[in-house]
Structure 1
Amino acid sequence: MILWVALLMFRFWLGLNGTAAESTGLERIKKCETRCSQGLNCKTKPDYVFSPPCENATEDLNASSVFHNISLSTVMSCEGRQKCSLHLRIKTVLQLTESIHGLSICTITAGMMMNCRILSFTRSSRERMSGLQVEVENDCTDVSPNQQVQVMLKTIPSYCGLTWSGTYNAPECGSEDLRKHVPECITGRLSYDVNPRRKELNVSVSDMLEDHNYYLRLCYKGFICSGTGASALIKKEDPVKNAALPYSRPLPCLCIEGWSTVTDAPRVQVCPFRDRLEELWFGVTFDPLEETLSWESACPVTAVATLCQKRGDGACVDLPHASQNVSRGKITFTEVDPHPQLCVKFTAGSQSWTRCPFVGRFQAWEVVVTRQEGHEEVKMMSKISATFSVGLCVKSGGPAVCQITKTNTVHVEENKGVGLNLTEEPCNSCVQVRRLDVKYAATIIHCLEQCNQSHPTTSRSSWGLTWVVVLAGVCLSGIIIVTLVLHVLLTVDQRRKQNRNGDEKQIDPALHCVVPVLQTHPHRGILIPGSLQCGNAEKANLISE
């Protein structure tokens, strides 16, 4: 019983959903026709574009008094599941008088001539219904999806100033009803799987236009979708509508495009990697001769590119006046110092990505530190002729904060070095270097690791380390000596045991006798070994004192 009730409720729910789905679609008609109010006989015939000039109307006739409740809508007629067409339905309420014999309906679409038809009323019916409001409806005007139509209504005969005009936009192909049944809107449905290992997109096509082949291709979407060269043709007789399309990079503008092999067929596009913005920020190039850094997006994107300096904590601090908006064109930064800490930060919306093009590549200059005789020698080495600002500073606060004490300008020739005399500078001093002959440069801070003279603390530390090494050596030597002595003693003991066992084995068992040598007798007698004889009748003489 419960199962039966559940089945009824499920069928009821399906019926409601089906009714709702049908209500969202267009009204179906079997054929186009003209309909008038009951009792009013009307006939349709073509009208001529060049109609006779209008007549003067009486004072009681005007557009607002004659035309009422004009409505324009779209209906659909079908000859098969995928063979439906759209029609414009024009409906109006007309105030009928004896001077109005009929109605003229004209439509104009872009690139087409005006199309007019006349709805004429028979004399007997209009005389019978004169003074009444009658309803007139016609749905024989063909329209295309998303087409704009201009509609004009006039009375017959045509009276001057007695005209109504309006504009109507037919529904777009985005409607589910049109995408399934109108050939101009049937694009097919695309589904895909990404194979990143093989760099392939496996595409499946469904609901394609019947009795037609289908094209697939990969393209980069912009103002137009330019092809990448990867394409496939799916034959209408193929039982499985699948194809594999190879790709090189998962760019956000890389799309799959499909369409039927008919003239002016609508196309459908799906973009599998539309959220992969991080793929756009590669390809930053640098021209060392022109000292120009450039980048061009492979896809249209709205972003901001900014030069920044990478700090030790991973943050990238923007350089002043070093930002450009990214749209379609190529961005270029001129007079750029190629240093590993100089990077490009791309910002799109609330996300940012940093690319450092000079890491492990061309570096124009560097600060070289050598240690000789207890002090550090600092040199500026450059592969190009350049001018630098060299400032002495003391660290205070964060890693990028250094208080300048004095500044000098240093010029370095190509492939040469210039020494910086820092022998008289206090301990823990730093050098802040920045290139001056370019527009965009990183500011580099290098701090001395040790003072130029030796310190007591350093001497005490060295002596302490020496004592530790000496004690460790003595302990290790003692352990080695004790180990060797024990080894020698064990070896000697083992050899003695082996000799004793060898002597015992050389005695004849038949002559063997056991006599305690020099054993003291209880009566203070002594057994003399020389007087003993071995055998069954052997006796020992007791020698008294």
Structure 2
Amino acid sequence: MLAGHAVALLCLTWGAYQSLAIPRVTECSLSCPQGFACKSLVSRGNIFNSFCQQPPASMPRSVLGALGLSTAMKCSPPDGCSLLLRVNASLTLHESLQGLEVCSTSLDTQETQCQTVQVPRASHRQAGQQLQVRFDCFKVGVAQSLYVTLRTVPHFCGVQLGQQYHTEDCREEDVGKNVPDCFAQKLSYWVDRSRKVILVQVPESGGPDYYVRLCLKRFICEDAGAPVRVIGNRVSRRVSLPYSQELSCLCLEVWSATPDAVRIQTCPFKNDTESLWDAIRYHPGSQALSWEPACPMRGRVSLCWQPGPGAHCLELKHSGRPARGRVQYPLVDTQPQLCLKVSGPDHNLPRALPGLAEGSEEPDKGPTALGQGTHGQMSPSALPSPRVQPPSSPSNPSWANSGGRGFVTNLRGPWRPA
């Protein structure tokens, strides 16, 4: 009896595992019910089917019954697996119908791929019967957003179905283990601060080639060096990428050498704040103070008054500016207690930087040789806020308490007028 329960539990467990795995297909195919001859035509979209015509009075608007979408996987060892979109459609046969057209549009690139199925004209005896059609040949990518439309051929006005669909990402176990686009997340990297290089290591398992590059994540990730191709089956799988400055928006971007591959990004210095203060400029002649960081930021900039080392910095009224683009303060009189503060959701460790405020200490930057990067935390890029030039008008500073946390630097030393 116990053995029977064990077998039943094993069967249930294996059945649950199979239901979670993405179905495999060996080749692209078109499936129609027995007795119907369907023919598939692949195209980028039929312009003549873009214009609709009025349906005959005998055709019901519900002639398209259903549209079902799912993901399938086609594997070709040793190159790995690719994802396919599986489309299940149903229609009611009508003597005016010649076929179906299914189009899949990427919401990211607006690229469209279509497939048309020709069906024989229905006889009076066949009219009204349900026909199930399945398409398996739409190539899709990992974590892709699609919009799928189903229309009749010819295209009758008002007779159309549409549905949005998102393919699985690398967090799905079956996809993460088998799709080459996800292998980039298994790459490891190290930051060699003494040589100012980032070392990238490719896993020793077989697989596709990769491209790696450094880029500055602004509105898009702009080139900060030429892409380097990493050959997957070579003995040496380490590449060295030099950088000039440790910027919070300096990112490592990796993608497989396959068409339309997903690009994975990680930013090794995203928590470093030293570069914030390299953007401060004081002009002794005009007494203007400007701040323009090399990386986009969220938050605000303000002037504040720090009575003593380690004391709370009191924000000056009317000095707050959005931390977007270039911020300028005219007629700034440098005083030992006058500071610049940057605060925001990404910056919550207030401190005075070394050499600019009394009592400050050199921050611990960690090891100066190899500091290993974080594995498996590369994520698709997120678009930063657009850069906006804030207004800069003179204001008479006054005292006010600051409730925000942020970074503070003293306006002495390099910014004291000669």
- Bucket of the pairwise TM-score, normalised by the shorter protein: 0.5 to 0.7
Alpha-carbon offset, residue 440 of structure 1? 5.0
User: Structure 2 stretches of 5 or more lacking a match?
Assistant: 359-393, 400-418
Counterpart check, 1:118 vs 2:124: no
SS state at 2:276 partner: helix
Aligned to 2:151: 153
Q: Deviations over 1:330-359 (max 9, x none)?
A: 211110111212111221235434469876
CA distance in structure 2 between the partners assigned to 1:114 and 1:269 by the alignment: 31
Partner SS for 2:317:
strand
1:113-144 deviations in Å (ceiling 9; x for gaps): 75422133786xx84x6655x34122144233
Relative to structure 1, the CA distance from residue 274 to residue 263 in structure 2 (aligned partners, 3 Å threshold; closer, same or farther) is same
What corresponds to 2:391 in structure 1?
Answer: none
1:203 aligns with 2:200: yes
Give 3-state SS (helix, strand or coil) of 1:105's partner: strand
Higher strand share: 1
Note the C-alpha offset of 1:153.
3.0
Describe the SS at the equivalent of 1:42. Answer: coil
Once residues 357 and 334 of structure 1 are traced to their aligned partners in structure 2, the CA distance between those partners, rounded to angstroms, is 24
Q: Is 1:304–1:346's contact at 8 Å kept on the other side of the alignment?
A: yes
Judge conservation of contact 1:251–1:279 (CA < 8 Å) in 2. Answer: yes
Which residue does 2:330 correspond to in 1?
334
Seen in structure 2, the aligned counterparts of structure 1 residues 218 and 154 have a Cα distance that, compared at 3 Å, is closer
Alignment correspondent of 1:42: 37
Q: 1:315 to 1:225 in 2, by over 3 A?
A: same
Kindly report the root-mean-square deviation, in angstroms, between the aligned alpha carbons of the 2 structures.
Answer: 4.4
Deviation at 1:321, TM superposition (A): 1.6
Q: Is the 8 A contact 2:208 2:257 kept in 1?
A: no
Query: Could you tell me how far 1:86 is from its partner in structure 2?
Result: 4.0
Is 1:57 the equivalent of 2:56? yes
Q: How many equivalent residue pairs?
A: 345
C-alpha distance after superposition, 1:223-271 (max 9, x if no partner): 2323444875533442242234444544322222223456655432212
Q: 1:94 to 1:112 in 2, by over 3 A?
A: closer
State, as a whole percentage, how many aligned pairs show the same letter.
27
What is residue 265 of structure 2 aligned with on the other side?
269
Q: What is the TM-score when the length of structure 1 is the normalising length? A: 0.52
Question: What SS class does the counterpart of residue 218 from structure 1 fall into?
Answer: strand
Instruction: State the distance in 1 between where 2:33 and 2:21 align.
Output: 27
Residues 70, 226 of structure 1: alpha-carbon distance in 2 compared, 3 angstrom cutoff? closer
- Larger Cα-atom Rg: 1
Report the equivalent of 1:310: 306
Q: Which structure has more RCO (C-alpha within 8 Å, separation ≥ 6)?
A: 2
C-alpha contact 1:337 1:441 (8 A) present in aligned 2: no
Q: 8 Å contact 1:341–1:356 — kept in the other structure?
A: no
Q: Is the 8 A contact 1:190 1:270 kept in 2?
A: no
Which shows bigger deviation, 283-292 or 172-181?
Answer: 172-181
| Amino acid paired to 1:62 | P
Equivalent AA in structure 1 for residue 318 of structure 2: H
Give TM-score, length-normalised by structure 2. 0.65
Q: 1:138 aligns with which of 134, 137, 150?
A: 134
Task: Flag the 1:42–1:353 CA change in 2: closer, same or farther, 3 A.
Answer: same
> In structure 2, do the counterparts of structure 1 residues 114 and 195 end up closer, same or farther at CA, with 3 Å as the change threshold?
closer
2:72 pairs with 1:75: yes
Are the counterparts in 2 of residues 77 and 86 from structure 1 also a CA contact under 8 Å? yes
1: CA distance between counterparts of 2:53 and 2:228? 60
Deviation at 1:37, TM superposition (A): 3.9
Distance 1:121 1:77, change over 3 A: farther
Aligned pairs for 1:371-390 within 5 A? none
**Within 2, Cα distance between the matches of 1:220 and 1:56?**
54
**Aligned AA (1:223):** F
Greater share of residues in helix = 1
**Aligned-partner Cα distance in 2 for 1:292–1:249:** 26
Supply the AA of the counterpart residue of 1:258: V
The residue number in structure 1 matching 2:253 is 257
Q: Does the CA contact (< 8 Å) of 2:85 and 2:140 recur in 1?
A: no
| Counterpart residue identity of residue 42, structure 1 | A
Q: Does 1:324 align with 2:321?
A: yes
